[in-house]
């Protein structure tokens, strides 16, 4: 395969969730990445939405870069079918490598790990550590409560218009992904200086 046209870092649940729409959206995201000549960068797991988005990307002919801490490999959570599987020592290394390999970030439905990753790259963006776009896929209204809370946070003076503008939300992959990838920086990013 030729060099990928972009690398999209996807954060999502290691569980599938109860709404079948979540799995459908993850599959659509993976297919879209591959069909656009892109590359998936993700946490390297084989379960839940993580496994679904990776499998869909691979089945559609795309590249998948998985990055997973060795402690999770030892629990047999690693996706052994990745185009590249990087086994690192710590979660900090995992997140840093994922961020460095990405041109843009996307959060699908997920739990506290997904939220932590989303808020970390959002914080890094507002501090100027990167200029990569961030997307939030609000499948089935999953993130509506979070979006409402963030608006409340703005009303209470803890979040400003600039910070709010750094995350782009939409209900479907088709409404979000083209604009997200188009907004990605055209030149390769420098290594992140986060420490």
Q: Look at residue 2 and tell me if it is in a domain.
A: no
**What is the mean predicted confidence (pLDDT) over 23-34?**
98
The mean pLDDT value of the chain amounts to: 93
What percentage of the chain has pLDDT greater than the value 70?
94
Q: Look at residue 193 and tell me if it is in a domain.
A: no
d(CA 133, CA 8): 10
Tell me the pairing of strands 167-170 and 39-42.
unpaired
pLDDT band for position 74 (cuts 50, 70, 90): confident
Number of domains in the chain: 1
**What's the CATH number where 98 sits?**
3.40.50.450
d(CA 80, CA 78): 6
Give residue-wise pLDDT tens across range 132-189. Answer: 999 999 999 999 999 999 999 999 999 999 999 999 999 999 999 999 999 988 754 4
Parent domain of 136: 7-182
Q: Look at residue 191 and tell me if it is in a domain.
A: no
d(CA 181, CA 8): 8
21-56 residues labelled b (16+ CB within 10 A) or e (exposed): bbbebbbbbbbbbbebebbbbbbbbbebbbbbbbbb
Read off the pTM. Answer: 0.93
Q: Indicate whether 195 pLDDT > 50.
A: no
Return the beta strands (E) in the chain as ranges.
7-11, 39-42, 63-69, 84-88, 104-107, 134-137, 167-170
């Amino acid at each position: 395969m030729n060099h990928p046209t972009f690398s999209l870092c996807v954060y999502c649940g290691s569980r599938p969730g109860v709404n079948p729409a979540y799995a459908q959206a993850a599959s659509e995201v993976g297919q879209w990445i591959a069909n656009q000549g892109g590359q998936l960068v993700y946490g390297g797991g084989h379960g839940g939405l993580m496994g679904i988005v990776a499998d869909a990307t691979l089945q559609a002919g795309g590249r998948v870069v998985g990055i997973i801490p060795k402690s999770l490999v030892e629990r047999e959570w690693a996706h052994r079918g990745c185009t590249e599987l990087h086994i690192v020592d710590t979660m900090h290394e995992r997140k840093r490598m994922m961020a460095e390999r990405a041109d843009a970030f996307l959060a699908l439905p997920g739990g506290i790990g997904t939220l932590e990753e989303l808020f970390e790259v959002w914080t890094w963006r507002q501090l100027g550590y990167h200029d990569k776009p961030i997307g939030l896929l609000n499948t089935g209204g999953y993130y509506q409560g979070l979006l409402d809370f963030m608006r409340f946070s703005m009303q209470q003076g803890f979040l400003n218009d600039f910070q709010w503008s750094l995350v782009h939300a939409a209900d479907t992959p088709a409404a979000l992904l083209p604009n997200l990838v188009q907004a990605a920086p055209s030149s390769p990013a420098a290594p992140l200086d986060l420490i």
